[in-house]
Amino acid sequence: MNAPWELGLAEAARLIEAGELAPSELVSSVLERIDEVEPLLHAFVSVDGEGALRTARAQDSAPGGPLRGIPVAIKDIFDVAGFPTRCGSDAYADVPAASADAAAVARLRAAGAVVVGKTTTHELACGVYTPPTRNQWDLERSAGGSSGGSGAAVAAGAALGAIGSDTGGSIRIPASHCGIVGVKPTYDLISRAGALVLSWSLDHVGPLTRSVEDAVLLLSVLAGVQLSSDGDVSGLRVGVLRDAPFSPFEPDVGTALDDAVAILAAAGVAVDDVAVPALDRSLSAEFAIVAAEAASYHEARLARAADRIGDGVRGLLEVGLLLPSSIYLRAQRTRRALQQSVADAFDEHRLDALVAPTVPAAAQRVEQLEYELGGAAEPVIEALVRTTAPFNLVSMPTVAVPTGIGAGGMPGSVQIAARPFEERTALRLARTIERAAPPLGRPRGLEAARVNPV
């Protein structure tokens, strides 16, 4: 018999509602799982075992919302009442405990979710890896970033769901690396109140889960709307993005994309390659906007405690402080042009969605700084962000979904992007892929460490 921590989020919610599983039983199982895997994965900065169990026991005999008794993890850029929000940075090491929950956390709690802990983040949510967090498929690889702790925790069963933030890919990159589902919703669909700002015009809040069905439930609670991934996808039209900035990519990534396209075509979706050349300008616009807005937000802290911010992030902030306003405004105009180019492609090809590789390469090794792609070296951060940032810039809801295990032994992933506020379309297509894709199986990293994995 499987342990409760192995249940999917939606399945566990149904069992609790039916009286077949007690919230305290589920939370106890997840806390035991955290004790088992945390020494290997380092996904949490704090675990509130006593508080989580106390909350769960109170729910055992009380009615609750759709997430009653569901253990969730919170990226450590969101305020959680009673705990400091340290944002992965020594610059925040001395902040007092938060007096109130962030809006997203409050919504989860109001629906009955039980917060088991806060997860690691790349410093100030500004990066594509999350030291010291490791990947459960290969403990020598990164879990991605900046929401790497949330991705690793969910993938390993140390939480049934988690929330993260996505400014240039920080939900979808960990989802891809860890073999789970990550959703970057339409801009501002979910409140960012009570969360650290990286770039106020690009930041998104969204869920990380082990299935599309689980993501639908969490997203519905976070957004305050009833969403669904059910429904026939036959007759929908999807454009496939293979050109720059989505290429070059590793062979396993191309296989994952081809497999996803074949699944959609078999389900009656009209699938054709499309080109949106303007998207190749995404990376420069993304970095200019993030640098300027992050520098503005952190200016006072940078002035008084620059030495407590890591070199890489500090360098970006210092560049942002010196960035001429004309460059920032040009980046925002470029963003508007990209939005129009994508809208034109949707109209020209009568599209309902786009599909693209989530990332161009498998999870990087812990100390890896470059990929070899297309016969040339490419910095890891640029490689990973160039495929995810376009959908932040155009504010499209985007779902990263696993496609199976590649020849290299790591999970494959594609991302589905739909028109703004058409989350249902992206989720339906993602679930179609999920249902037909081969199961991922047991993560070999935890297997090798003799830990019983998901």
The answer to whether residues 227 and 416 touch, using CB atoms and an 8 Å cutoff, is no
Q: Regarding beta strands 237-241 and 353-357, do their DSSP bridges make them parallel or antiparallel, or are they unpaired?
A: parallel
* Residue 36, C-beta contacts closer than 8 angstroms, at least 6 positions apart: 451, 452
Q: How many CB atoms lie within 10 A of CB 284?
A: 13
Rg over alpha carbons for the chain, rounded to the nearest Å, is 20
How is residue 379 written in tokens?
A: 């910095």
Burial of 224: CB neighbours in 10 Å, binned 0-12, 13-18, 19+: exposed
How many whole angstroms separate alpha carbon 166 and alpha carbon 145? 9
How many whole angstroms separate alpha carbon 232 and alpha carbon 63? 34
> Which residue type is seen at 35?
D
Active-site positions read: 75, 146, 170
How many whole angstroms separate alpha carbon 147 and alpha carbon 250? 23
